[in-house]
Amino acid sequence: MSILSSFIKFENLHELKRLCHWGPIIALTVIAVCSTMAVLDSIIWFWPLDSTGGSINFIMLINWTVLILYNYFNAMFVGPGYIPLGWKPENPQDMCYLQFCRVCQGYKAPRSHHCRKCNRCVMKMDHHCPWINNCCGHLNHAYFTSFLLLAPLGCIHATVIFVMTMYTQLYDRISFGWSSVRIDMSAVKRDHRPIIPFSVSAFAATLFAFGLALGTTIAVGMLFVIQMKVILRNKTSIEAWIEEKAKDRIQYYQTGEEFIFPYDLGSKWENFKQVFTWSGTPEGDGVEWPVHEKCHQHTLTIEQLKQKADKRVRSVQYRVIEDYNGVCCPLSKGVKTFFTTPCTEEPRIKLTKGEMIFATRSIKWWMYGDKVLGEEQTKAGVRIRGWFPRRCVEKCLYDTANDAAMNEEKKEK
């Protein structure tokens, strides 16, 4: 028993390290600032013990904080679920349908991918989220998405409290003259008897918290919409990219195959129930998945192997049509690009018109890829890879003159 408890303590200590990272530190600071200011302002604006409305407002406020932290810490500490090190499929014949992970010394189960940050193969990996300093995947998908819903809701409530507090406090101090409106921050003119005096610094703090809450509502709300799409289609952002490449591959080889994405169960409600359950634990063991009737367990992994064998398609080639200076949130590339900048520490790369890129992953407004470099740089082992806005590039079709020329070159060699 003592061995077990020391083991658990060790495990917990190890997991607590996840908090020592800029993501959780910033996220928890924002939660703390917004919650504290909302509680203090509620006391000034809507004293909870005098009226039912005040009590409800206060209880709801505490409720948001508790629910947000509950889902946040679960997303972080429950984690996505990792494929056991050295994992092999039950049926040895299935090995030929799966990729092997050299780091984990095991096969990659369907829907799993190796995360370089976590250094493990992650079950149904969607992405590595720096805000929880962990991957978003199979086991924590529901907690993660609930957090993304609750945080904006809590922030909207806090925003209302901040606005009402500032409005009522300022209104009580405004004096109207013939040609001027004066705000007297020294005293409240009308009789409210506030429990905490609303000073200039309290006003500044409220304004600051208001900005934080508003920003969080917009940014996290957008992430919630993205994750809901992932859940309702039962297709992670990585799988969406595999599907895009599958269509490219089929179009290029004109094989006449029809690629059916295997994990979309056909109805949004069915897909939703896979992730959100009453017990909090999602359906399935993270290795075997329910699939479309025309597919089998290895439909997607076989497609991945085909793509791997077919390097040309694995990295779809793009031509740069617009310069990009490499900043995280480029204002000049449109509002959607600005707000959907990938939440990762991976680098962005500068682009100059005319350059070529091998793209390996993408989200709606951004892509990730390798710059096609000159022969000398390639030989020297130089690699320039990172994210860039999707609107700065256009896809090179396989039958373009440029591509055909390259093929001929190869034949001659």
Of the residues 37, 121, 148, 367, which one makes contact with Zn ion according to CB under 5 A? 121
Q: Which is nearer to Zn ion, 104 or 313 (CB)?
A: 104
Active site residue 118: no
Number of residues that bind Zn ion (CB under 5 A): 10
> Is residue 132 near Zn ion by the rule CB under 5 A?
no
Among 101, 149, 158, 223, binds Zn ion (CB under 5 A): 101
Q: In angstroms, give the least distance from the CB of 300 to Zn ion.
A: 17
Residue of 34, 104, 129, 392 marked catalytic: 129
Q: Which is nearer to Zn ion, 118 or 295 (CB)?
A: 118
104 binds Zn ion (CB under 5 A): yes
Which of 66, 103, 329, 406 contacts Zn ion by CB under 5 A?
A: 103
The answer to whether 133 touches 23, Cβ cutoff 8 Å, is yes
Shortest distance, CB of residue 327 to Zn ion, whole angstroms? 25
Stretch that binds Zn ion, among 33-41, 135-143, 155-163, 350-358 (CB under 5 A): 135-143
Among 18, 21, 88, 114, binds Zn ion (CB under 5 A): 114
| Binding flag, residue 118, Zn ion (CB under 5 A) | yes
| Binding span for Zn ion by CB under 5 A among 116-124, 224-232, 249-257, 369-377 | 116-124
Could you say whether residue 117 binds Zn ion (CB under 5 A)? yes
Interface with Zn ion, residue 123, by CB under 5 A: no
- Cβ closer to Zn ion: 135 or 349? 135
Is residue 128 a contact point for Zn ion (CB under 5 A)? yes
In the bound state with Zn ion, the residue whose beta carbon lies nearer, of 136 and 212, is 136
Helical pair 200-233 and 268-275, crossing angle rounded to 10 deg: 120
Applying the rule CB under 5 A, the residues between 371 and 400 that interact with Zn ion are: none
Q: Is the CB of 38 or the CB of 132 nearer to Zn ion?
A: 132
Which of 135, 149, 351, 392 touches Zn ion by CB under 5 A?
A: 135
> Among residues 98, 109, 115, 158, which is the contact residue for Zn ion, using CB under 5 A?
115
What contacts 402, CB < 8 A, 6 or more positions away?
A: 396
Residues 292-331 interacting with Zn ion (rule: CB under 5 A): none
Which residues contribute to the site for Zn ion (CB under 5 A)? 101, 103-104, 114-115, 117-118, 121, 128, 135
Task: Report the catalytic residues.
Answer: 129
